[in-house]
Structure 1
C-alpha cells in the first residue's frame, strides 16, 4: 500500500507518495487550481498514480494540509458572519485591546474585524466569572437576533457570551434556539472553540471559526466527492495548526484549528530532519511561491504557542487578529517566489502581493506581466530554465528580462542584472528581518542553531540568509521542494483540550485541579474516538501559570502524584520557577502562584514511528557534476562560473566547494563562494557556511 500526503499552497500543490513497505518516496508539484482547489488536487493525484503505475486501490491513506482557511481570512473572502454577544458588549471586537503595536503612531490602523458592527447583536443574559447565572437568558432577545440576521443574509453565526468559559449553558441554549428557527445557519460557540478567559481574544477566535466554517466545509465536501469519484479513500486526515492530524469532520467543525495547516507540517518535517542529522536546535525556513514561513525547533520539539495572530503588521504583537488556539510557532510574510516586485519612491519593493499560480511569474508564460522573485532568480542564473519543476515547465528567460527591464531597471536607471539582484536582495532582507524576530527577539542565538531550508525557493535563498544571521550550517532535506507534504508523513494524531479556571497553587486546590484534568482527558478521549485512536495514547498535562497579579502566563508541565497535595504543589512550583527563570531571568520565592488555563494534550503514535527510514540510495548513477553555468554574484560584480551538481547523483560523503548550484526536481540550492556542500548519510544536503563571510 501507499500513503499520499498533499499540501495546497498559493502557487503549487505539493504531493508526496510513500511506499509503506520500502519507505521510498515520490514527489510531484502541480500548479494550484485557482478557484477549484479540490479538482486540482484530484488531478494531481491522477498524475502521480499514473506515473507510478498504481491504482486507487493501492492507496492506504491520504494526509492533507491546506491554506484555504488562512487565505479566506487574509483576503477577507469568508462567509457573511453574525456575532451574538451579551448585552452591553457589542463593541468588543471594535475596541480590542488598549495595547498599541506602535505607541507613537497617530494614524494607527487596528486589525479589521471579520464582521461588521451592524452584524453584531446582543442578547439579554449575564454569567459571572465563576459561572453563576446573574441574569437568565431571554430567548425573545435571541429570536430578535436571528430575525435580524436572516434579514441581512447572514450565513454563519458566532456566539461569544460573557464568561461562557465558566458556564456554557447560555451559549448552548442560544445555539439550540438558532437551529430551531433557522437550521440552515452554521453556528460556532466560544465555549467549544476557545473556552478561555480574555473576551476579545475568545470572541475573535470564535468569529474567525464561524467566518471560515462554511467555506472549509464546502471545500472538504468537494474534495471528498472528487476523491470518491476516483474510488480514492475519503477518510483522509487533515493537519492542524498544532502539528496534529484530525478527521475531516473535526476540521469542518473547528476550521480555525487548521489556519496554519501547511506551514505546521513543514516544521514537523524540519524537526525530523534535525534529528536525522543529530541537531536539536533548528530554525526553519520555508519559502514557497506565495509566502515565506519561519519557525523554530527547540531541543528537538517544534515550539507550540498558546495562540497567534493572523494578518499581523510588521511582525508586531497586537497588530493582527488574535486566535486563541494551540499552534506551532510561526512567522509568515508575503515574500515568496511569486511575490511581485515594484518601485516605490525610487526604491525596489517586493511583495506582499503575489502572482500566484495563474498568471504566475512572467517566465511561466501564462500571461503574467509583473516581475517576481522567480523572474529575478532566473535572470541571475540561479534557475535552469529547461529543468524547472523536474522539466515539467520551460521558463522564458527573455520574457523575464523584458519585464524586469520595463518595470524595475528602466525606471531606476539600472541594468537588468542589477535590477534582478535588487529584487533578490530585497526579498532576502525581508526574510532576514522576520528571521531575526523568530530567533534573536525570542531569545534564540542563531549562531547556535542550524537552518533547515525547504519549499520550492527556500534552498535558493538560504545561504544568504544564513550568512546574514551567522548561522553556521544549512540543511536542505530530501524532497525540500515538497517539505510540508513530507511533514504530513511525520505527523501524529493530536488532540488539545483546555479551559480556564483561576486557582491558587495550594494543597487545598489540588483535588479541584485533578477534577479539571479528568474532565479534559474525558473530552480528549471523545475526540480520539472520532479519530479511531484509543490505544498507545501519550498524555501530557500542562497549565498556564503566573504570579498573582500578573497579566500574562507561561506554560508549565505538571507532573507528580495528586494523592499527595503538598508534594504536588512543591513540584508544580519548582516547574513554574524553572520556566520563569528561563524566560525572565529571575525568581521571586515569596510571590504567590496561580494557574489560569489548564491543558491536556493527547498524542497517538504516528505512522512514522513504525520503522526507521531506509538508507539513502542515489537515484542516478551518472557523475554528480554535470557542467557549469554563470551565476550572478555581487561580490564579483558580475557573473561567475558555478558548478552544476545533480543532487540525485551525489553519494554520502561527496563534498563540493562553492560557487555551485545543486539541482533537483522540486528545488535548487545555491552554494556561495567559500561555502561547501556535502551529502550526509541520511541523504540530506549540508551546506557549511564560510565563517569569514
Structure 2
C-alpha cells in the first residue's frame, strides 16, 4: 500500500505516508494563504526520510486524502461571498426569524441560560437579499401553483444587480419534488451561462439536505453556499499542486459523515470538522483492532480540543441536526464536541473571577504563540508549557521551530503577573491548571450527558499536544488509563488514510408502519422498496462516477422512526433492505423498539401511539485497505523493564506541587516496548512531547504506542 493522507489544521498541517509497509509521520506549519505550501513542506520531510523525491511519491501512490478545518475557520472568520436567496413566496422571513431560536443555537450552556442578553449571529444572507418566487408544492410534492418563470428571471436579475455572488434556492417541499428548484437552476444558467465571466454558482437545497424541515434545510444550503467559493478555490489549489507534481489519481476529500469522496462529489458543508472526524474514525478502527473496549477520543492540537465517543460494539454517535458555528443544519455528521483549548489558545486575565482565562481565541500558526518569535505578543498554553520546562526550546518540532523562552516569559509577565501579583511560573501553572480543568469539564459533561461513567473509558490522547496534557486532564476525571496511540501527533491524518469512500442519501417522508387507530400494519411495500432502491442507486452512481466497480459497493439502510407524534426520533439500522410482507414490517418495529429501549430505558416504548418512519437513509460505501494496528495492550507489570539512563534532566514545575522537580528526559526512540518510566518524566520525539506527571507511569507498547497508567488513583 502506498498512500498519502493529510490533516490541515488551524496551526499545523499533519502528513502520514504509507510506503510499502513503512509509516512516516511529519508536520509543518499551515500556510493559510496557500495550503499547498504547507502540504509540500510536510510531505517533503517524508521524502527525506524515504530518500526519494516529491514527484516520485506522488506519481506512485494509490491516493492522496485531505481532511481539513478550512471550512470551519472560514465560517468563524465570517469572510464569505454575498449570497442571494430564492424561496417560496410568503416564506421570505423563515431564515431571518430562525424559528425564534437563533439567539441560542451555538452558544455554550451558560449563554443559553441567559438568552435575553444573547446576541443573534451576524446573518450569512441579508434579509434584503431574500426574494420570494411564485410557486407552491404540497407536502406530497403535488403542484398547487406552477412556477412563474418570468418572476424567477426578474428576481434573479434583481439579486445579481444587488451584488449577489452566489444564488441559494430553498423552496417549500423540494425534497419531495425537486422539479421547481431544478427548473430555477436551468433558468439561471440560461441567464448566466457558465462560459460567461458573470456566471455565478447556484446551490439547490434538496441536493444539500434530503430531509424535511424548511429552516434547517435552508440554513444547510446557505452555509454550503457561503463556504463554496473558499473551499473550491483552496481545494482546487491543492489539486493543481498535485497535478504539477505528477499525481494523476483523483484527489479524495474526507467528509464529516465519516466517509470520503472525490472533490467533484463533495459539498463544502461536508468538509466542516472533517479533520476531527478523521481522528474519531481512527479511534474506532484502533479500538476494534486492539480490543480496548470503550474509548473517549481526545484530539488536542494547536487551536482546539475535540472530543468523540467510541463505545464497545461499534455504536456510532451521529448528529443529524448539528449546530455549525451558530447555525442549525440538516446533514448527518459524526458527533463531536469542540472546545477552544489548544496549544495556541490565548491566556488572558479574567477580571470578574480574578484568575486566568484560556481561549477560545487562538494565536494559530500566524503569528503563533509568543515563543515562536513570529510577532505574537499574547501568552498561550504553549508559552506556559515552555516556561514550566516541558518543552525543549532548541528541538521543538524536531528543531524546525526554535522557541524563544524570553518571549514566552515576557508575554506572561506583561499580561498576567501584574494583574495576579504572582511570579511567572505561578502564572504559567495557573494557565496549565485552567486549560486542563476546562478540557476535563468538557469531557465529563459529554460522557455524563450520554449516561456514561468516565471511569469505564480508556482515554485516547492524540494531536500535537494530546500526550503533553493528558495526565492532568485524566486525573481530574479519575481516569486511570490513557493510550497515546501510534503516530499520535498525526492521528487524524492516520484516520484520513483509513476512511472508506462513502455517500449518504436520505429522503424525508410520512410513512406509518403501524396505525394505532385502526390497528393495522403498513402494506404499501412497493412505495418503501422504491424509495430505498432510488437512494441506493443514487449512492451507487456517486461511487461508479468515481471509478469504483459496482460489485465492490455495499449499502447500509437506516430509518429515523418515532412513536406517534413524539418529537424525539431514533435511528434503527435495518439488515434487510426490502419489505416483502408483514414479517418484515414486524422485524423493523422490533429493531426500533429494541434501540429505543436501550436509549430511553426498557419499558419506555409506546406502540399504542403508533409507529412511523420520518426519514429513510441509505449509505453507499466501499472498503479500502487500511493501516493495521498490532496488539497494543500494556505489558504486564511483572514483565516491564527499566529504561536506559536519561539523556538529560530538566527543571519542571507541576500543578499541585510547590517546588520544581529535577525531571529526567528521554528520547522516545530509546524507550523500547515493555519499558516503564515512572513520573515525573519527559519523553520527547520530533513530533510531540509525552509528559508523565508525578504519580503516573509511562509504559511503551508495540508499534510506538504509549500508555500512561496511574499508580494510585484518587477517587
TM-score, normalising length from structure 1?
Answer: 0.94
Alignment of 1:42-441 (within 5 A): 42-55=40-53, 56-59=55-58, 60=61, 61-98=63-100, 101=104, 102=112, 105-183=115-193, 184-233=199-248, 235-251=250-266, 254-299=267-312, 301=314, 302-311=316-325, 320-345=326-351, 346-441=354-449
Residue 580 of structure 1 pairs with residue 596 of structure 2:
yes
Residue 628 of structure 1 pairs with residue 638 of structure 2:
no
**What is the rounded CA distance, in whole Å, between the counterparts of 1:47 and 1:679 in structure 2?**
25
> Contact conserved, 1:159 with 1:187, CA < 8 A, in 2?
yes
- Secondary structure, counterpart of 2:666 in structure 1: strand
- Secondary structure, counterpart of 1:500 in structure 2: strand
- Over residues 308-359 of structure 1, what are the superposed CA-to-partner deviations in whole Å (9 max), with x where a residue is unaligned? 1112xxxxxxxx3112112111111221111111113133221111111111
Residue in 2 that maps onto 1:315:
none
Question: Are the structure 2 counterparts of residues 357 and 106 from structure 1 closer, same or farther at C-alpha, using a change threshold of 3 Å?
Answer: same
**What is the rounded CA distance, in whole Å, between the counterparts of 1:478 and 1:361 in structure 2?**
27
**What is the rounded CA distance, in whole Å, between the counterparts of 1:105 and 1:64 in structure 2?**
38
**What is the rounded CA distance, in whole Å, between the counterparts of 2:153 and 2:252 in structure 1?**
38
Q: State the Cα distance separating 1:34 from its structure 2 match.
A: 2.7
Question: Are the structure 2 counterparts of residues 275 and 468 from structure 1 closer, same or farther at C-alpha, using a change threshold of 3 Å?
Answer: same
Residue 519 of structure 1 pairs with residue 534 of structure 2:
yes
Question: Are the structure 2 counterparts of residues 358 and 639 from structure 1 closer, same or farther at C-alpha, using a change threshold of 3 Å?
Answer: same
- Secondary structure, counterpart of 1:83 in structure 2: strand
Question: Are the structure 2 counterparts of residues 141 and 433 from structure 1 closer, same or farther at C-alpha, using a change threshold of 3 Å?
Answer: farther
What is the root-mean-square deviation in Å for CA atoms of aligned residues?
Answer: 2.1
> Contact conserved, 1:62 with 1:233, CA < 8 A, in 2?
no
Runs of 5+ consecutive residues of structure 1 not aligned to the other structure: 312-319, 617-621
Q: State the Cα distance separating 1:232 from its structure 2 match.
A: 2.9
Q: Number of residue pairs matched?
A: 676
- Secondary structure, counterpart of 1:608 in structure 2: coil
Question: Are the structure 2 counterparts of residues 642 and 271 from structure 1 closer, same or farther at C-alpha, using a change threshold of 3 Å?
Answer: farther
Q: State the Cα distance separating 1:658 from its structure 2 match.
A: 1.3
**What is the rounded CA distance, in whole Å, between the counterparts of 1:108 and 1:236 in structure 2?**
42
> Contact conserved, 1:227 with 1:234, CA < 8 A, in 2?
no
Residue in 2 that maps onto 1:537:
553
Q: State the Cα distance separating 1:98 from its structure 2 match.
A: 4.1
**What is the rounded CA distance, in whole Å, between the counterparts of 1:680 and 1:435 in structure 2?**
25
**What is the rounded CA distance, in whole Å, between the counterparts of 1:270 and 1:657 in structure 2?**
26
TM-score, normalising length from structure 2?
Answer: 0.91
- Secondary structure, counterpart of 2:426 in structure 1: helix
> Contact conserved, 1:624 with 1:646, CA < 8 A, in 2?
no
- Over residues 154-173 of structure 1, what are the superposed CA-to-partner deviations in whole Å (9 max), with x where a residue is unaligned? 11111110111111001001
> Contact conserved, 1:224 with 1:234, CA < 8 A, in 2?
no
Alignment of 1:413-562 (within 5 A): 413-505=421-513, 506-534=521-549, 535-560=551-576, 562=578
- Over residues 193-236 of structure 1, what are the superposed CA-to-partner deviations in whole Å (9 max), with x where a residue is unaligned? 10211111111101111111112111122112222222234522
**What is the rounded CA distance, in whole Å, between the counterparts of 1:613 and 1:239 in structure 2?**
25
Residue in 1 that maps onto 2:680:
659
Q: State the Cα distance separating 1:69 from its structure 2 match.
A: 1.3
- Secondary structure, counterpart of 1:398 in structure 2: helix
Q: State the Cα distance separating 1:287 from its structure 2 match.
A: 0.8
- Secondary structure, counterpart of 2:558 in structure 1: strand
Residue 18 of structure 1 pairs with residue 18 of structure 2:
yes
Once the two structures are overlaid, the 10-residue window that deviates more, 666-675 or 195-204, is 666-675
Q: State the Cα distance separating 1:624 from its structure 2 match.
A: 7.0
